[in-house]
Chain A
Amino acid sequence: MNRLLALPIALPLAAAAMSILCGRWRAAQRVIGLVTLTSLVAVSAAVLIHVDTEGPLASQAGGWEAPLGITLVADRLAAIMLVLSLVMLLAVLVYAIGQGEAERDHVGFHPVYLTLAAGVSGAFLTGDMFNLFVSFEVMLTSSYVLLTLGGRRDQVRTGMTYVVVSLVASALFLTVLGFVYASTGTVNLADLSGRFAELPAATRQALALLVLVVFGIKAAVFPLFFWLPDSYPTAPMAVTAVFAGLLTKVGVYAIIRTQTVLLPADDRPGTLLLVVAGATMLIGVLGAIAQNDIKRILSFHIVSQIGYMVMGLGFFTVAGLAGALLYIVHHIIVKTTLFLTGGLVERLAGTGHLDRLGGLVRTAPLVAVLFLIPALSLAGIPPLSGFVAKLALVDAGVSTQEWAIVAVSLLVSLLTVFSMTKIWAGAFWGEVEASDGGRRLPVLMVAPTAVLTALGLAVALFAGPLYGLSERAADDLLDSTAYVQAVLGG
């Protein structure tokens, strides 16, 4: 079973190579991409089921013992994230094929997309910090290419900011790795969890804080989020959808993983994280309210939503972490759906600018429904998935008596409703704007959007079992004995 762990990284890389060889035949590239991602969804589902029943899986590449070699490890958290991200990648690939634009015009789209898949899987599965760095780089380098595919003027401009910010974060990450290695002599996460406990408290906290800053840039939390709303909107819609659903969440995953594995229970920066979470939520949603373009509004909402995930982590209780996980699951699905629907609107009306949109509820009722469900869910209206996830978080907050953050999170929910109504009123209600109308939407664009909307509803429907799974995953995180044992043996 643990041999399977290498597949989500190796298979897409091999497929990317194949895809380059088939560069002349777009149909062949499509088949390769779809087959690879479909089979990986199956593999990752098998891993999730196995991990949930039998405990964490670990695999040592090349048979090198754990602290030295390359370790791949899947616990419940990693497996959940893996399944989800592969499903999203598959759905968005279908959408991109339907949409045409970037996918049709560039030989590089499929290979780079598959490399991105390898990077994302690698980041979830790796068991040491250096390979986390490498996976991040694989993922980010692919994202640079996808973001600037087409080389338009605005893409080059935003691409510069995005690439430079990411690279600064990477250089910082490398430096932190140097610090960690100098003080402990290892970068293996399981090994580090033991070694960190032996360090003086000040060193330990300084290192954890540096790690937090590095991943904070990637996850776009409060003082470090400025690059996101600027760079995401210029990419083709399918690409933005993948970025919005996955990239920042990989950062959140890395924050959750490092802050729980590295630090002993009494040393975790709970208050700091809660303050950061509150500021992230509030600033993100206020930024969203000021915007006037669908993509930009949704991009600011990503920032705001990251706050909720960090809030769940900040409690450092089983209930809090379980809430955060449920929120991540809900958010990845809903956010991707919203961006895909935004793409449908742009395709129909030729623009995403609210001033030039209107009356879509009459001209395209299906798109209106596909927008309304995830939008209400994002705002946390019962009985949708956002409500369930926010309820779990608020409940965790009440039980730890962190009233301030609970109040902020409820206020932000309200503001989220406001900004979603802005899109709704601007694009769907009102006078029908003169557009080149009557354009038909490709089935391949509508179908994945509809499937993801249904998936979002399913999260609400199966919230009980999902919460149970999140709770078990949270248990694993707070007590990392099983994780350490699976990696180091003994």
Chain B
Amino acid sequence: MSIVLAAAAAGLFGCGTFLLLQRQLTRILIGLALLSHGANLFIVLAAGGRGDPTFAGGDDAASLLDPLPQAFVLTAIVITFGVTSFLLALAYRSWRLTGDDEVQDDIEDRLIASRWTAAEELADAELADAEHDAAHAGHRRDDRGAHAGGEPRHVDEDDR
């Protein structure tokens, strides 16, 4: 086991995790790539120490390198490549649609979380509105202009 390689794997995991916690998809993407590089390096390390090349290294089985982890890593690299390109396409699509590649919150979830507070706020707003109207009612009696001025505001609120 090489200390340098182990430290490199640890560094990749660390940087990957940091980037993963950002909100831009491109950064997350790089984070994921680093994370899987770290994992791949780690599997290579899991194969044990150095040895002779597997298929051309001679007949002594004990001195040969274990080829299985390298087969794993090759497969994993191909998979990561495919998925990374998919994510890039997704980030591009997001940029086309929203002008940004930021990962957004779940709107429906927010809506449900805020439903009760929203209902209370609405009730409060209506109450304030009624008081407002009552205050204006006095003016309206002497001045018709103020009444006409108040009209569009009500239309706005109905639309909302």
A151 in contact (CB, < 8 A): yes
Report how far A161 CA is from B83 CA in the complex, Å: 14
Contact A174 B76 (CB under 8 A): yes
Q: Across the interface, which residues of A come within 8 angstroms of B119, CB to CB?
A: none
A35 in contact (CB, < 8 A): no
Contact B72 A293 (CB under 8 A): no
Of the candidates B16, B83, B86, B112, which one forms a contact with A292 in the assembled complex, judged by CB atoms under 8 Å apart? B112
Residues of B32-78 contacting chain A, CB below 8 A: 32, 35-36, 38-40, 42-43, 45-47, 66, 68-69, 72, 75-76
Of the candidates A134, A144, A187, A290, which one forms a contact with B112 in the assembled complex, judged by CB atoms under 8 Å apart? A290
Contact A158 B46 (CB under 8 A): no
30 A-B residue pairs with Cβ-Cβ distance under 8 Å, sorted by A, are: A137-B79, A141-B83, A141-B86, A144-B83, A144-B86, A151-B93, A151-B97, A156-B94, A157-B103, A161-B103, A164-B25, A164-B32, A164-B103, A167-B32, A167-B87, A168-B20, A170-B36, A171-B32, A174-B36, A174-B42, A175-B42, A178-B39, A181-B46, A181-B69, A181-B72, A182-B45, A182-B46, A187-B72, A230-B106, A233-B108
The 4 tightest CB contacts between A and B, nearest first, are A182-B46, A174-B39, A178-B43, A178-B42
Q: A154-B107, A178-B39, A181-B72 are in contact. List 18 more A-B contacts (CB 8 A).
A: A134-B75, A137-B79, A141-B82, A144-B86, A153-B97, A157-B104, A160-B25, A163-B83, A167-B36, A170-B83, A174-B43, A175-B42, A177-B72, A182-B45, A230-B109, A290-B112, A292-B112, A296-B108
- A160-B103, A291-B112 given as contacts; is B98 within 8 A of A153 (CB)? yes
Q: Across the interface, which residues of A come within 8 angstroms of B94, CB to CB?
A: 156-157, 160
Q: Across the interface, which residues of A come within 8 angstroms of B68, CB to CB?
A: 68, 181
Report how far A296 CA is from B28 CA in the complex, Å: 27
Residues of A173-194 contacting chain B, CB below 8 A: 174-175, 177-179, 181-182, 185, 187
Q: Across the interface, which residues of B come within 8 angstroms of A293, CB to CB?
A: 108
A130 in contact (CB, < 8 A): yes
Of the candidates A156, A178, A187, which one forms a contact with B90 in the assembled complex, judged by CB atoms under 8 Å apart? A156
Of the candidates A134, A145, A163, which one forms a contact with B79 in the assembled complex, judged by CB atoms under 8 Å apart? A134
The interface bits of chain A over 95-113 (1 if a CB of B lies within 8 angstroms of the residue's CB, else 0) are 0000000000000000000
Report how far A230 CA is from B93 CA in the complex, Å: 19
Q: Across the interface, which residues of A come within 8 angstroms of B35, CB to CB?
A: 168, 171
A59 in contact (CB, < 8 A): no
B109 to chain A, nearest CB (A): 7
- A175-B39, A178-B45 given as contacts; is B87 within 8 A of A163 (CB)? yes
A159 in contact (CB, < 8 A): yes
A453 in contact (CB, < 8 A): no
Q: Across the interface, which residues of A come within 8 angstroms of B86, CB to CB?
A: 141, 144-145, 163
A99 to chain B, nearest CB (A): 22
Report how far A160 CA is from B25 CA in the complex, Å: 8
Q: Which residue of A lies closest to B1 (CB)?
A: A182
Which bucket holds chain B's interface residue count?
A: 35 or more
Which B residues are within 8 Å of any A CB, using their own CB?
16, 20, 25, 28, 32, 35-36, 38-40, 42-43, 45-47, 66, 68-69, 72, 75-76, 79, 82-83, 86-87, 90, 93-94, 97-98, 103-104, 106-109, 112
A148 in contact (CB, < 8 A): yes
- Report how many residues on chain A are interfacial, defined by Cβ distance under 8 Å: 40
Contact B43 A156 (CB under 8 A): no
Contact B82 A168 (CB under 8 A): no
Q: Across the interface, which residues of A come within 8 angstroms of B107, CB to CB?
A: 154
B105 to chain A, nearest CB (A): 9
Contact B72 A130 (CB under 8 A): yes
Q: Across the interface, which residues of B come within 8 angstroms of A144, CB to CB?
A: 83, 86
Q: Across the interface, which residues of A come within 8 angstroms of B40, CB to CB?
A: 174
Q: Across the interface, which residues of B come within 8 angstroms of A133, CB to CB?
A: 76
Report how far A159 CA is from B75 CA in the complex, Å: 24
B21 to chain A, nearest CB (A): 11
Report how far A148 CA is from B75 CA in the complex, Å: 25
Residues of A50-98 contacting chain B, CB below 8 A: 68
B25 to chain A, nearest CB (A): 6
Q: Across the interface, which residues of A come within 8 angstroms of B39, CB to CB?
A: 171, 174-175, 178
Q: Which residue of B lies closest to A154 (CB)?
A: B107
Q: Across the interface, which residues of B come within 8 angstroms of A141, CB to CB?
A: 79, 82-83, 86
Report how far A290 CA is from B72 CA in the complex, Å: 44
Report how far A396 CA is from B103 CA in the complex, Å: 44
Q: Across the interface, which residues of B come within 8 angstroms of A154, CB to CB?
A: 107
Contact B32 A168 (CB under 8 A): yes
Q: Across the interface, which residues of B come within 8 angstroms of A159, CB to CB?
A: 90
A13 to chain B, nearest CB (A): 15
A84 to chain B, nearest CB (A): 27
- A174-B43, A230-B109 given as contacts; is B76 within 8 A of A160 (CB)? no
Report how far A47 CA is from B25 CA in the complex, Å: 44
Q: Across the interface, which residues of B come within 8 angstroms of A233, CB to CB?
A: 108
Contact A178 B46 (CB under 8 A): yes
Residues of A432-478 contacting chain B, CB below 8 A: none
Report how far A175 CA is from B40 CA in the complex, Å: 8
Contact B32 A181 (CB under 8 A): no
Q: Across the interface, which residues of A come within 8 angstroms of B104, CB to CB?
A: 157
Of the candidates B20, B90, B106, which one forms a contact with A163 in the assembled complex, judged by CB atoms under 8 Å apart? B90
Q: Across the interface, which residues of A come within 8 angstroms of B106, CB to CB?
A: 157-158, 161, 230
A50 to chain B, nearest CB (A): 31
Q: Which residue of B lies closest to A140 (CB)?
A: B83
Q: Which residue of A lies closest to B76 (CB)?
A: A174
Report how far A350 CA is from B95 CA in the complex, Å: 29
Report how far A174 CA is from B45 CA in the complex, Å: 13
Q: Which residue of B lies closest to A68 (CB)?
A: B68
Contact B93 A156 (CB under 8 A): yes
